[in-house]
Amino acid sequence: MQNNQKFSKNSLVELLRYLLCGGATTLVNYLVYLTLLHSKVDYLTSNTAAWMTAVIFAYVTNRIFVFHSRNQIGRELLSFVSLRFLTLLMENLLLFGLIDGLSLQPGISKLLVSIATVLGNYAFCKCSIFQNSQKSHTFHQTNFQKGETIHE
C-alpha cells in the first residue's frame, strides 16, 4: 500500500513538473510564432520555426527537470525529435485546416491546435522517450530457503 502511495505521489509531482515545463515550452513556442507572424512570415513557416525552438527547449527541460533522465543523450534526443516531428506534421495540417479551410485567425488556430499537441507530447515522452534504463523499484537480495516464494 505504501509503495502505491509513493508511486502516486511521484507520478503527480512528475505531472506537475511536466505541466510547468510544458507551459514554459508553450510560451517559447508562442513567442516565436507570434513574433514571426508579426514580421509577416507565413504561418506555416512561423509554426515550423517556433516548433524547432520549442523542441530544443522542451528536450532540455524534460530531460533535466521532469524525467531526470540519465540515458544516452544522442539516442534520446533523436527519439525525442523524431516523435515530436509527428506533432509538427499534425500541427501544420490542423493549422492549414483551421486557417485556410475554416478562415480562423492564426493566433486562435494555434491555441486550439496546442491542446492536441500537449496531450500527444506527454504521451510520447512518458511512454517512449524518457523510459528509465533501470527499474523504478529495486529488489533486495536475501537468502531464501529452497521452495520459498516472494509475495508482493
Q: Check residue 60 and give its pLDDT.
A: 92
More confident residue, 43 or 131: 43
Q: Which of 53, 29, 18 is nearest to 127 (CA)?
A: 18
Determine which helix (DSSP H) or strand (DSSP E) holds 73, and give its type and residue range.
helix 73-96
In single-letter form, the type of residue at position 109 comes to: S
Q: Check residue 84 and give its pLDDT.
A: 81
pLDDT tens-digit profile of 105-115? 999 999 999 88
pLDDT tens-digit profile of 27-72? 999 999 999 999 999 999 999 999 999 999 999 998 888 888 888 8
For the chain, how many residues are written? 152
Q: Are 66 and 18 in contact (CB under 8 A)?
A: yes
- pTM for this structure? 0.70
The C-alpha cell that represents 57 in the structure block: 527547449
| CB neighbour class for 140 (10 Å; exposed up to 12, middle 13-18, buried from 19) | exposed
Q: What is the DSSP letter of 79?
A: H
